[in-house]
Amino acid sequence: MNEQNRTPDVDLDVIVVGAGFAGLYLVHSCRQAGLSVRAFETGDGVGGTWYWNRYPGARCDVQSIDYQYSWDPELEHEWEWSERYATQPEILRYLNFVADKHDLRRDVQFSTRVEGAVWDDAERLWRITTDDGVETTCRYYVMASGCLSSMKDLDIAGAERFDGETYYTGRWPHEGVDFTGKRVAVIGTGSSAIQSIPIIASQASELTVFQRTPNFSLPARNGPVDDAKRSAVESDRDAYRHSARWSSVGVPLEQATDSALAVSDEARLARYEQAWQDGTIFSLTSAYNDLLLNPASNETAAEFVRSKIRSIVQDPATAEALCPTSYPIGTKRLCLDTNYYETFNEAHVRLVDLRSTPISEITESGIDVVDGDGATSYEFDAIVFATGFDAMTGAIVAVDIAGRDGAQLRDVWADGPQTYLGLMSHGFPNLFMVTGPQSPSVMSNMAVSIEQHVDWITAAIEHLRANGLDTIEPTQLAQDGWVTHTNDFADITLFPQANSWYMGANVPGKPRVVLPYLGGVDRYRGICDQVVERDHLGFELRGADRSVVNDGVVCRVQPDVMILLEMMAEMGLPSFDTMSPVEARAFSEAMSAANPPGPEVGDVVDGTLPAADGVTELAYRLYRPATPGPHPVTVYFHGGGWVIGNATSDDALCRDLCNQSDSVIVSVDYRHAPEARFPAAADDGFAATRWVAEHAEALGGRPGELAVAGWSAGANVAAVVAQRARDEGGPSLCGQVLLSPVTDCDFDRESYRENGDGYILTKALMTWFWDHYVDVEDRSDPRVSPLRAESLVGLPPAMIVTCEFDPLRDEGNAYAEALADAGVSVRHVVARGQIHTSIVAVGALLTGAPYRAEMAEALRGFFAATVTA
Ligand code: NA7
């Protein structure tokens, strides 16, 4: 071996921080892979979160039968949970049992805190320093430090002055606390408080709960392990665990497919009641498919829980104060409780609502709150701080981690975590995180997500070793793509509306970005698998003398578009190009009928107008805004490759455009191929535009304020109409809005190569459309390839939207450029992550909405300019 490239010895292959659920499995998994491993653990025993969080009433909120390891099948027979939701002592006993059984403590160094980690790029190893002053080197360094393990700093004035007892739910004394006869305060109403309050109330002589934000809590209905669940696991353990791994939350769950708004009030209430009775954390918010997406749907579930709170809590003012109203249900961690709301009916328990009477300070004897112009002082013997954690990133950045070139992880993450898959971070080779930020982690059953990460990490190390490599690091490009994808997913949900620890909003000064990945455990697992299958896409793998990198971004389409594509793939729908035109039209109509209806408009009128052949009557549908007219007029041409489509297929888009542009939209049909081939569509489009111009007043329009618009082949017709109106004596058009237009007959473009398959509009389908409409020798004619017009000078101003994942993207881009070069005013938007059919999916996909708004805004601008001129 070349001396310069010699791989130096390391003390250990793998160093792990933490000996909780994740750290213990890592120790086992590394050993199995033949790696030397050591976990450093601050506590003097195993358990992690379950070692520290010993507050009264601490339990898991995922059923124990799901919240356990699946990597040791024997364990399932050897260990029997005593309750549906095991208590902290029982979970801790379980982890100790596992540690004993597999002799894991041998590789755990307890009572040792990792303080620093420095990447040595020359030697390709990590130098880890611990609080005993020792430096240990390793090739791979894994933060298995927990998502809710770093306590939030106390941000209440005077906390250190209190003379009585103080307790923190996250660092509870191991010997326990007896509150008998004491006046106790609990600050906070998160999960820890909600679990502990009923028990503290049963001991204390007085209990005062200080609530800043009320939480939604559901009854846990704890008791013996569910028979149904137990028999499901026992009858086919592998199938059960498999379905958990491939579920959205890491627990086998029936996935609702309908919207909360699509059913009657009675049906909805019945389903919510069932979820309330069910006693699980996931059943309510997954009762319908849009509860975490649609505010109106969400409100139905929120109000259901509020009505339950009002029915339990006897004092109306206290009940109202306990009802959350400032965020959608499920966007702050839902809680599971045993008698939480009931506790407020006890005479010695009171609630102080900090929204109306905020804490001014903690004093020697208690807590002072601002009360109107005055103050109220409460006296206590003990204060319990249940104020939460610096979630998901806190424990990671608590260690001084210096990556390549000395970059500090906490600086790199100053504006929010930067990770690839929530597993690794660029600039920090061989540093892994288990259930790190931007992975599903806290949005899932942690046991399942931890196992997936540990398996992925171990497999990655094994892959490196098998290939004579020793370093893995995500590329900047892949990481940026993942951060964007994570944020895109959050943006289609209601989560950003809450000041939650999911958003980092509970810690003063912490950047407000979504921390967990919201795409679900199943999708996430599929993505991680795909990354590996695609030669570790987005990772650079290095060895002493070579580097392997397949750079790229794993999820590039918008999340709602991604979900649509997955659904369509699952349904296995046939493509139009496998059908006859007649069948394709029927199929298109059936699909249109299943689309959500577009928004209400002022008026919809169906009529006919003459086609260019003077014989055929063309159907049109006119949409009038609800605002007083007359209005400007837009002639709209539907998509469908000159072969299929009609006013119905583009109905929702036209309604949306009508409302947003405040113009009359006349959606005109044109004769279809192959019955009427080129140039029938172009001729009809032009004839229809002239007819609308002539009848503008009768149609409720303002003469002279006329624009054209269209989508796909309809945008092709619109573009051709604009050219012909210029060349053939009008009518005068004030603008053209072209969404994903066909502008040229050349299929040899990058966008055809990139997106010719897999994004609904395929190259094969475009070929089918062209073949039906126009002979090869006519295809260069500007009446079908408007990009080939002799000149584009003097055309009306244009708004062009092209979609990133559309075979037609580049010809649309080329048309926008050519128009601009010809001096035409052009507004051109490339819609990131959109496909050919996504922007028109009004009511079905959220991420197309901003582009529709821009199109409408452009129309308003065109009309306004006409009036000014
Ligand atoms: P949480 O859920 O973060 O709850 C902390 C609670 O403390 C919450 O009600 C906070 O109100 C409140 N809090 C925090 N700081 C203050 C101050 N300064 N003044 C008043 N009230 C305050 O932590 P938990 O430990 O209960 O639960 C964490 C997770 O562990 C839980 O979700 C489960 O997954 C397990 P806020 O809502 O910020 O207004």
Rounded CA-CA distance 369/19 in Å is 41
How close is the Cα of 110 to the center of ligand 1, in Å? Answer: 29
Q: Is the CB of 523 under 6 A from ligand 1?
A: no
pLDDT tens digit string along 806-834?
999 999 999 999 999 999 999 999 999 99
> Which contacts qualify for 490-495: CB closer than 8 Å, 24 or more apart?
490/514, 490/518, 491/847, 492/293, 492/558, 492/559, 492/560, 492/846, 492/847, 493/292, 493/293, 493/331, 493/518, 494/292, 494/293, 494/294, 494/295, 494/298, 494/328, 494/330, 494/331, 495/292, 495/331
> In whole angstroms, what is the distance from residue 419 CA to residue 449 CA?
17
Q: How far is the CA of 387 from the centre of ligand 1 (A)?
A: 4
Mean pLDDT across 764-786:
98
pLDDT tens column, 524-541:
999 999 999 999 999 999
Closest atom of ligand 1 to 442 CA is 34
Query: Of all atoms in ligand 1, which is nearest to the CA of residue 189?
Result: 9
Q: How far apart are CA 449 and CA 245, in angstroms?
A: 8
The angle formed by the CA atoms of residues 452, 458 and 459, to the nearest 5 degrees, is 85
For ligand 1, whether the C-beta of 360 sits within 6 Å is no
The pLDDT of residue 255: 84
Question: Is there a contact between 715 and 740 (Cβ–Cβ < 8 Å)?
Answer: yes
Protein residue with its CA nearest to atom 23 in ligand 1: 388
The CA 272 to ligand 1 mean position distance, Å, reads 26
| Ligand 1 contact, 801 CB (< 6 A) | no
Are the CB atoms for 667 and 598 separated by under 8 Å? Answer: no
6 dihedral zone (left: phi>0; alpha: psi -120 to 50; beta): beta
Tell me, what's the pLDDT at 76? Answer: 87
Could you identify the atom of ligand 1 that is nearest to the CA of residue 154?
18
Nearest CA to ligand 1 atom 37: 213
Q: 387: Cβ below 6 Å to ligand 1? A: yes
Mean pLDDT computed over 637-661? 97
For residue 500 and ligand 1, the question of a CB distance below 6 A is answered with no
User: Considering the chain, what is the average pLDDT of its residues?
Assistant: 96
C-alpha dihedral (768, 774, 776, 781), degrees to nearest 10:
-130
Q: For residue 377, report the distance from its CA to the centre of ligand 1, in Å.
A: 23
For residues 810 and 824, the answer to whether their CB atoms sit within 8 Å is: no
C-alpha dihedral over 614, 617, 619, 620, to 10 degrees?
40
Is the distance from the beta carbon of residue 188 to the nearest atom of ligand 1 less than 6 Å? Answer: yes
Is there an atom of ligand 1 within 6 Å of 155 CB? yes
Burial class (CB in 10 A: 0-12, 13-18, 19+), 773: buried
Which residues partner with 635 through β-bridges?
A: 666, 708
The span from the CA of 725 to the CA of 707, in Å, is 11
The pLDDT value recorded for residue 9 is: 80
Tokens 């009802």 correspond to 323
State the distance from the centre of ligand 1 to the C-alpha of 190, rounded, in angstroms. 4
699 lines ligand 1 (CB under 6 A): no
Query: Above 60 in pLDDT, residue 738?
Result: yes
Ligand 1 close to Cβ of residue 388 (< 6 A): yes
pLDDT digits (tens, 9 = 90+) for 45-61: 999 999 999 999 999 99
Contact 225, 203 (CB under 8 A): no
Q: Is 305 a residue whose pLDDT tops 50?
A: yes
From 191, 197, 322, the mutation candidate for ligand 1 (largest count of ligand atoms within 8 A of CB) is 191
Which amino acid is present at 652? A
CA 472, chain centre distance (Å): 26
Ligand 1 atom 10, closest CA = 188
Q: 6 pLDDT exceeds 60?
A: no
Q: Is 156 in the pocket of ligand 1 (CB under 6 A)?
A: yes
Distance 515 CA to ligand 1 centre (A): 16
Residue pair 16/28 in contact (Cβ under 8 Å)? The answer is no
Q: Within a 10 A sphere around the Cβ of 269, how many other Cβ atoms?
A: 15
- Residues 550-563 have a mean pLDDT of 97
DSSP structure class, residue 493:
S
Of all residues in the chain, the percent with pLDDT exceeding 70 is: 99
pLDDT tens profile 151-184: 999 999 999 999 999 999 999 999 999 999 999 9
70 CA to centre of ligand 1 in angstroms: 31
Atom of ligand 1 nearest to the CA of 505: 38
Atom 3, ligand 1: residue with shortest CA distance:
388
Q: What is the pLDDT of residue 8?
A: 58
**Region 634-661 average pLDDT:** 97
Average pLDDT over residues 286-290: 95
Structure tokens belonging to residue 738:
């072209």
Cβ neighbors of 665 (< 8 A, separation 6 or more) are 622, 623, 633, 634, 636, 654, 657, 658, 709
pLDDT at 279 over 90: yes
- pTM for the full model? 0.95
* CA-nearest residue, atom 31 of ligand 1: 191
CA-based nearest residue to 412, from 352, 350, 479, 497: 479
Is the CB–ligand 1 distance for residue 187 below 6 Å? yes
Q: Which atom of ligand 1 is nearest to the CA of 191?
A: 26
| SS3 assignment, position 252 | coil
Q: Is there an atom of ligand 1 within 6 Å of 193 CB?
A: yes
244 lines ligand 1 (CB under 6 A): no
User: Is the beta carbon of 339 within 6 A of some atom in ligand 1?
Assistant: no
Pocket of ligand 1, candidates 156, 506, 510, 515: which has the most ligand atoms within 8 Å of its Cβ, to mutate? 506
Q: What are phi and psi of 208, to 5 degrees?
A: -120, 125
| CA triple 642-634-660, angle to 5 deg | 110
- Tell me the three-class secondary structure of 582-611, residue by residue: HHHHHHHHHHHHHCCCCCCCCEEEEEEEEC
**Angle subtended at Cα 69 by Cα 66 and Cα 75, rounded to the nearest 5 degrees:** 105
Question: Does the pLDDT at position 7 exceed 70?
Answer: no
214 lines ligand 1 (CB under 6 A): no
Confirm if 844 and 595 have CB atoms less than 8 A apart: yes
Please give the average per-residue pLDDT across 692-696, as a whole number: 97
* CA separation for the pair 382, 367 (Å, rounded): 11
pLDDT value of residue 5: 37
Q: How far apart are CA 605 and CA 625, in angstroms?
A: 12
The mean pLDDT value for 132-151 works out to 96
Residue 254 is predicted with a pLDDT of 86
Residue to mutate, 212, 389, 495, 499, ligand 1, most ligand atoms under 8 Å from C-beta: 212
User: From the CB of 505, is ligand 1 less than 6 Å away?
Assistant: no
354 lines ligand 1 (CB under 6 A): yes
Q: Is the peptide bond before 630 cis (omega within 30 degrees of 0)?
A: yes
Q: What is the mean pLDDT of residues 702-717?
A: 97
